[in-house]
Amino acid sequence: MNSQFPIENAIINLITSYKNQVTKKMRPLGLYPGQDMILLALLKHGQVSQNKLVVELCVDHSTIAKSVSRMVKSNLVTTEKSTKDKRVTLVSLTTHGRELAQKVEDIWVSSEHTATGGLSSEEQRLFIEMIDHITDNLNK
């Protein structure tokens, strides 16, 4: 580890290790990158507009539109126009999509438990507090 930038190296190592673990567990589900987050958002909120997904997931509209289109073809979601505003496309989970979303949620819960293994509740709280502080510093 390069001691000149210990915080940077620690953050990069943490993100890389966490992402590798989650990716390894997600691979058998056959999802494209980002589809797991869409499934989780729909599991949490039920039917939502594509625009709400754009805001919640912090991605551009074309990315969401492309992902949703792929997910419709894979029978994970359905889309329909809003009866209130025909310009709004609403996205919902199919039965298959709900089952897959639950598996995704289980993977995220399991990964969080693995990552925080051996840490007390207080240590976890302090870790989140420190990460939030660093994030705030970087967003100034």
Three-class HEC string of the chain: CCCCCHHHHHHHHHHHHHHHHHHHHHHHHCCCCCHHHHHHHHHHHCCEEHHHHHHHHCCCHHHHHHHHHHHHHCCCEEEEECCCCCCCEEEEECHHHHHHHHHHHHHHHHHHHHHCCCCCHHHHHHHHHHHHHHHHHHCC
Q: Is residue 51 situated within a structural domain?
A: yes
Question: What integer pLDDT is reported at residue 4 of this predicted model?
Answer: 86
pTM score, whole prediction: 0.83
Q: Is residue 11 situated within a structural domain?
A: yes
Total number of domains constituting the chain: 2
Q: What is the CATH number of the domain that holds 61?
A: 1.10.10.10
> pLDDT band for position 2 (50/70/90)?
low
Kindly report the backbone phi and psi dihedral angles of residue 132, in degrees, each rounded to the nearest multiple of 5, phi listed first: -60, -40
Q: Is residue 135 situated within a structural domain?
A: no
User: Residue 3 is part of which domain span?
Assistant: 1-30
Q: Is residue 8 situated within a structural domain?
A: yes
Question: Is there a single domain that holds both residue 24 and residue 36?
Answer: no
Q: Is residue 125 situated within a structural domain?
A: no
d(CA 20, CA 81): 37
What are the tens digits of pLDDT across the range 85-137? 988 999 999 999 999 999 999 999 999 999 999 999 999 999 999 999 999 99
Q: Is residue 140 situated within a structural domain?
A: no
Question: Is there a single domain that holds both residue 11 and residue 63?
Answer: no
d(CA 74, CA 30): 10
Question: CB of 110 within 8 A of CB of 69?
Answer: no
> pLDDT band for position 32 (50/70/90)?
confident
The overall average pLDDT reported for the chain is: 93
Q: Is residue 130 situated within a structural domain?
A: no
What are the tens digits of pLDDT across the range 71-81? 999 999 999 99
